[in-house]
């Protein structure tokens, strides 16, 4: 684990607090997860393999992806190993991970612990998904409706309603809207300012939460945007001769994060019993990039795969990529966009601490 003992003790304390809180509510069982299910929406940061079943270039179901995962096999996760959400599921007591909804595993009793609807190349803006041949957020919501029907058949109406109500819903989206759509699409960036585009995305986010609330969801963990300007691909494509992170892109990300936090606060005022935590992943990732050695990392300016400056998915990060590092745990980034497993562990520890309010 790439964290110091102080942080580790904090995470342990929060996990124990989780257990005590649930025990007081009568949920505690021997070796039972602290919540009944984890249900996930979003993009490549949380996709566990849905894109394996799509006609898209945004896939990660081949080496070297997954080389440090269970059995050293690629699954469709955009990482050398576990995602932050995988570590979160581990900490909450899950023995297996909720399946990708499009996978053959998404059936029967496997649905009792949740489902993952995320798709690499997706975003809040459905146009982002269409450009990348990914599952749009609108379609992810439709799949969730299907999931509810399947869950009711497996668990019965009473238990399925309890699972839906007490599950934690993870939403991780928005990065692709900027990096794979807005910044490279003159049809958008000539019409909308970054602030205007952010406002549009946040409106979509608010509508999505309202729709999910109407379907029974109550507890949401929503990731902020990371420091987009610090991603190796952003430095390569948009940094020009600027040293370090691309400041204007980080500013856009921070503006979005402020707006989505404000929207979450307003939604909780409007909708009874709704709980939303905006997980701040901007700061922990930014801190890792600025001071990698403090957490035991060596490299934070490029990814492990290939040269680490532009490689991601089938675009150059593949079994033939020259120069791929031997020890990804020394790298903050696995490819030019996505954190390494070691960095995801750091991020996950932050999510657990912040997520206590969801109980």
Instruction: Indicate which residues carry an active-site annotation.
Output: 44, 335, 338
Cα(249)–Cα(229) distance, integer angstroms = 5
Cα(113)–Cα(37) distance, integer angstroms = 4
Q: Which of 100, 1, 113 is nearest to 60 (CA)?
A: 100
Cα(72)–Cα(80) distance, integer angstroms = 9
Radius of gyration of the chain (CA): 19
Q: Which of 354, 317, 295 is nearest to 62 (CA)?
A: 317
Query: Which token pair is 151?
Result: 């869950």
Q: Do residues 332 and 300 touch, judged by C-beta distance below 8 A? A: yes
- Bridge partner list, 170: 40, 221
Q: Do residues 133 and 94 touch, judged by C-beta distance below 8 A? A: no
- Bridge partner list, 221: 170, 277
Crossing angle for the helix pair 5-24 and 341-354, nearest 10 degrees? 50
Neighbours of 30 (CB within 10 A): 4
Q: What is the DSSP letter of 226?
A: -
Task: Kindly provide the b/e burial profile for residues 304-327, where b requires at least 16 CB atoms within 10 angstroms of the residue's own CB.
Answer: bbbbbbbbbbeebbbeebeebbee
Question: Residue 278: in which H helix or E strand, if any?
Answer: strand 275-279
Cα(307)–Cα(317) distance, integer angstroms = 9
Which string of DSSP letters, residue by residue, matches 160-198? HHHHHHH-EEEEE--HHHHHTTGGG-HHHHTTS-HHHHH
Cα(13)–Cα(19) distance, integer angstroms = 10
Query: Which token pair is 57?
Result: 């270039």
């Amino acid at each position: 684990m790439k964290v110091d003992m102080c942080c580790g003790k904090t995470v342990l304390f929060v996990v124990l607090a989780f257990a005590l809180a649930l025990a007081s509510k009568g949920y505690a069982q021997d070796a039972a997860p602290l919540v009944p299910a984890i249900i996930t929406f979003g993009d490549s940061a949380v996709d566990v393999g849905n894109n394996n079943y799509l006609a898209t270039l945004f896939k990660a179901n081949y080496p070297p992806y997954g080389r440090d995962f269970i059995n050293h096999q690629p699954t469709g996760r955009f990482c050398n190993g576990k995602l932050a959400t995988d570590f979160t599921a581990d900490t909450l007591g899950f023995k297996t991970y909720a399946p990708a909804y499009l996978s053959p595993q998404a059936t029967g009793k496997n649905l009792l612990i949740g489902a993952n609807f995320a798709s690499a190349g997706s975003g809040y803006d459905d146009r982002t998904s269409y450009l990348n041949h990914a599952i749009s957020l609108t379609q992810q919501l439709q799949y969730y409706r299907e999931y509810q029907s399947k869950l009711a058949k497996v668990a019965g109406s009473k238990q399925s309603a309890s699972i839906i109500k007490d599950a934690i819903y993870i939403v991780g989206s928005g990065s692709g809207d900027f990096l794979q759509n807005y910044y490279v699409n003159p049809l958008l960036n000539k019409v909308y300012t970054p602030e205007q585009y952010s406002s549009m995305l946040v409106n979509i986010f608010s509508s999505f939460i309202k729709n999910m609330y109407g379907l029974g969801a109550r507890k949401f963990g929503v990731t902020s945007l990371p420091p987009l300007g610090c991603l190796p691909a952003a430095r390569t494509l948009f940094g020009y001769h600027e040293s370090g992170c691309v400041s204007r892109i980080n500013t856009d990300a921070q503006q979005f994060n402020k707006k989505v936090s404000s929207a979450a606060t307003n939604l909780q005022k409007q909708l009874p019993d709704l709980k939303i935590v905006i997980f701040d992943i901007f700061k922990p990732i930014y801190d890792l990039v600025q001071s990698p050695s403090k957490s035991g990392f060596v490299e934070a300016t490029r990814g492990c795969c290939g040269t680490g400056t532009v490689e991601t998915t089938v675009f150059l990060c593949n079994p033939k990529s020259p120069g791929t590092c031997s020890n990804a745990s020394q790298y903050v980034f696995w490819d030019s966009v996505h954190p390494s497993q070691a960095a995801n562990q750091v991020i996950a520890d932050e999510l657990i601490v912040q997520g206590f309010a969801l109980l």
